[in-house]
Structure 1
């Protein structure tokens, strides 16, 4: 999944973009974390020591030459030694990310590794994960401890650092970043799930069978046109995808948005492109059940098509994973939206369906969405619908905020939901069908 063009973009630009993304997502602090790239010359470009991560520019990035000389106006990160150690023993890796995101730090301080079987795509993205014992930050011993994990387990691309954080490698910076973001999402989902109940994990067989069921083979069409209304939809989809990422409602490795265009024709996001970086030209047109030639639609395209065919009032769909809704989606606990009036008015009562239903019995999902705007697919996603795309996004935000309130309330006490009589008052007052 590459979106940062390693052929055209300088390493210092790549590092600046990704460290900014990590900082804005709340996965590192002003002074914490460091990332690096090893270029074709064997030079290592790395974020500087003790410089604000929230305002780095390409000019701040430091280069440590292959011969050890340093160029740049700052000192390289104090953790440079373990970056170099990883590159020395795993030459196929050209990017390393180290940070202290709270959820992964939580695992590091209790000596546990997140189980990535919590959602289907994470196992393949993250791979098996190591655990390195504690050592002094910046020390040779820390570098040796991390290097040992990567050396003795060549299948590892991610290592939890005891009482410290996480370090991940990749074939390029986007590969490392998407592994980092996905692993952190798994950690947050597990923590949220344990707050309200007991997480349920997928088996390896379930994941393998699910991946096989996702194969999309749709006939292409050649006579593609892009009238102005179609182009406007493409731009709107991109804006909402970026907004979902900014709001923490979507991660770079998962999330699908579609909008009805004409009749049952629609536009949909593609797979295998980082959601942060989706552009209008990436969006795929689906017309008369066929896709525009040369493009691949989301692997959930058949489900989207069935929802549009079944529900003429639905004009947009968002399928995503958000950390608090997925707490309910991974525990089987009831997502009771009778928390505040707005939640029930917008969502009514949200139900869940078993993992795999969205492909094995998509008609059942489409039928549920005739009466409510959202449904949770266990261990997979939340599917949200609406008329206009902004309305659908609003439904998603309200659902995630409601889920977050319930997760945060769990340690305080038992939910006291709005009762049936009050619900009936809301139904009448706000004309909820």
Structure 2
């Protein structure tokens, strides 16, 4: 079964944009969109520049391929998030440089800037790093789900990268970009030998209230 043109085109364009931005080197990373009975996901091993909507793969939430093609090796990660978080309509996984560097230290991003509240309620305490598990495994999928909990929309994956979810693909894309921005700011402070002053829960709650729904990648 071929992908529906609008959703497939949106997913391919998003993958190419992240690839061009350096977020998915060497064919790494993957994106998906939920559909009525599963999800549409980028294929395994295909360069994003060469990808078309026809190359995308439809999977059930159990990972069963519905049609042709070979889904991303991280299909279990996407399926587990969709099962655990019914509000998630899109999942984006990247290997963006700065956030991945922090993940290699298994270091969370602390609440250094109010934009961290875009990751959800859990973001007020920082963006965590999930415990390590081998890529492409159900163990990795479950560690990511555990780190995300009930309300967080982004987490680092130990020695691996970033995953974010959203109510829209645009929202998930905005969030992975913001995680990379926050990681860059945090690493710049550490490289300069400057200890960041972390925002308090009260300060973050006030900022979240001020932001409201403006620009929120839900």
| TM-score for both structures, normalised by structure 1 | 0.44
* Aligned with residue 149 of structure 1, among 136, 147, 172: 147
SS at match of 1:63: strand
What is aligned with 1:176? 172
- Structure 1 132/212 Cα, relative in aligned 2: closer, same or farther at 3 Å? closer
Task: Provide the rounded CA distance (Å) in 1 between the counterparts of 2:216 and 2:199.
Answer: 26
What is aligned with 1:124? 117
> Which string of whole-angstrom CA distances, capped at 9 and with x for unpartnered residues, describes residues 14-60 of structure 1?
21121111111111113100111111x12310000000023322122
- Structure 1 212/36 Cα, relative in aligned 2: closer, same or farther at 3 Å? closer
What is aligned with 1:138? 136
- Structure 1 201/21 Cα, relative in aligned 2: closer, same or farther at 3 Å? farther
Deviation at 1:9, TM superposition (A): 7.0
SS at match of 1:136: coil
* Aligned with residue 52 of structure 2, among 57, 62, 76: 57
What is aligned with 1:188? 184
Deviation at 1:71, TM superposition (A): 2.2
> Which string of whole-angstrom CA distances, capped at 9 and with x for unpartnered residues, describes residues 340-399 of structure 1?
xxxxxxxxxxxxxxxxxxxxxxxxxxxxxxxxxxxxxxxxxxxxxxxxxxxxxxxxxxxx
Structure 2 gaps of 5+ residues are: none
Task: Provide the rounded CA distance (Å) in 1 between the counterparts of 2:157 and 2:139.
Answer: 13
- Structure 1 169/66 Cα, relative in aligned 2: closer, same or farther at 3 Å? closer
**Which protein has the larger Cα radius of gyration, Structure 1 or Structure 2?**
1
Task: Provide the rounded CA distance (Å) in 1 between the counterparts of 2:178 and 2:104.
Answer: 20
> Which string of whole-angstrom CA distances, capped at 9 and with x for unpartnered residues, describes residues 245-282 of structure 1?
xxxxxxxxxxxxxxxxxxxxxxxxxx6399xxxxxxxx
Q: Give 1:325-364 correspondences, 5 Å limit.
A: none
1:33 and 2:29 matched: yes
Structure 1 gaps of 5+ residues are: 1-7, 216-270, 275-433
| Root-mean-square deviation (Å) | 2.6
Deviation at 1:173, TM superposition (A): 0.9
- Does the 8 A contact of 1:16 with 1:56 survive in 2? yes
Structure of greater relative contact order (alpha carbons < 8 Å, 6+ residues apart): 2
Task: Provide the rounded CA distance (Å) in 1 between the counterparts of 2:147 and 2:216.
Answer: 30
What is aligned with 1:166? 162
Task: Provide the rounded CA distance (Å) in 1 between the counterparts of 2:100 and 2:16.
Answer: 20
Deviation at 1:66, TM superposition (A): 5.8
Deviation at 1:108, TM superposition (A): 0.9
Task: Provide the rounded CA distance (Å) in 2 between the counterparts of 1:178 and 1:192.
Answer: 21
Task: Provide the rounded CA distance (Å) in 2 between the counterparts of 1:172 and 1:134.
Answer: 27
- Does the 8 A contact of 1:134 with 1:163 survive in 2? yes
1:272 and 2:211 matched: no
1:89 and 2:32 matched: no
* Aligned with residue 67 of structure 2, among 64, 68, 71: 71
| TM-score for both structures, normalised by structure 2 | 0.83
Equivalent pairs, count: 206
What is aligned with 1:302? none
Deviation at 1:131, TM superposition (A): 2.6
- Does the 8 A contact of 1:28 with 1:99 survive in 2? yes
- Structure 1 273/111 Cα, relative in aligned 2: closer, same or farther at 3 Å? closer
What is aligned with 1:201? 197
Task: Provide the rounded CA distance (Å) in 2 between the counterparts of 1:212 and 1:65.
Answer: 37
- Does the 8 A contact of 1:20 with 1:55 survive in 2? no
